[in-house]
Structure formats: C-alpha cells, structure tokens
Amino acid sequence: MIEETGVVVKTEGITATVRVQRRGTCEGCAARGVCEPSEEGMEIEALNPVQAQVGQTVEVSITPQSYLKSAIYIYGLPLVALIAGAIIGKNIGDAYIKGINSDIIAAILGFGGFFITFLFIRAWSKKAETRSEYKPIIEKIIE
C-alpha cells in the first residue's frame, strides 16, 4: 500500500478531501488530475469508510495495483503508440510512398499515435474518476 498522512478539510457524502504535505515527487506525479495543489499541500479526494470528520488527521492509502495500472496507462500507452506509429510509418513510407522521405511519414504517424493516446487517456481518466478502485481510501483516523 502507498500511504500518506493528511488532514481532512472537507467531507461530502462517502468521500472526503484530505490535505497531504506536498513533496518533491509531486511535480511529475501521474495523479495530478486527482490532486489539487495548494500552498499548504496537495488536496486528494478519498473514499471515507471510517467517517472521518473535518480537522482529523487520517491515513490515506492507494493500492499498488491501481497506482501501477494508472501509471501504465498514462506513461506506457503513449510510448508504445509513438514507437508503433513510427515503425508502421517507416514501413508504409518505404513500401508505398516513394515521393516523400519515409522518416517524415514515420514521425507523422508516431506523433499522431502519441497524441491519439492522450485523447484515450483523457476519456479513461474521466471514467476512472468515478470508479472507486482508482480512488484513495482513508484507512484510519490517527487523531
């Protein structure tokens, strides 16, 4: 489990907004869509099965499986699409398009695939925001 300690700043139904301390690794984090940066720290929307109240210090966790799955979608798919598009573009350019350098076709298809995956990731992240398996969970109240 990936765990953080934070303070509940807002509760709403079955979720709570928890402010955790901002760290240096936040700059390149894949979960920036879930977190909202503020001067005091990062605010994370988490499931609240322990019924924590505003002002309480809590432990928030996310399963490594969901974190890894998200990281693969966000970082891995665009990389695979870039490489696959470049390979396909190079082969198409060599075999079918004689008037244009095949490297240009490879670059166009590679970057095209790269950007198309961002559209896919955007749609996936909007759907993932509503699924509880991708949300952090408040495990326990510390104080």
Would you say the C-alpha torsion 25, 27, 30, 32 has a positive or negative sign? positive
Q: Is the pLDDT of residue 110 over 90?
A: yes
Give the type of residue at 127: K
Q: What is the pLDDT of residue 45?
A: 85
Task: Specify the CATH architecture of the domain 2-62+135-141.
Answer: Beta Barrel (2.40)
Would you kindly state where each structural domain of the chain is located, as residue ranges? Answer: 2-62+135-141, 66-128
> Model's pTM, two decimal places?
0.62
CA separation for the pair 130, 117 (Å, rounded): 20
Q: Residues 76-98: pLDDT tens digits? A: 999 999 999 999 999 998 888 88
Q: Is the pLDDT of residue 28 over 70?
A: no
- Residue at token pair 């934070």: 6
Q: What is the mean pLDDT of residues 32-53?
A: 74
Which has more pLDDT, 69 or 34? 69
- Answer yes or no: are the C-beta atoms of 77 and 120 closer than 8 Å: yes
CA separation for the pair 23, 95 (Å, rounded): 50
Structure tokens at 136: 């952090």
Which has more pLDDT, 67 or 14? 14
The closest of 67, 80, 38, 61 to 128, measured between CA atoms, is 67
CA separation for the pair 26, 81 (Å, rounded): 26
CA separation for the pair 28, 116 (Å, rounded): 21
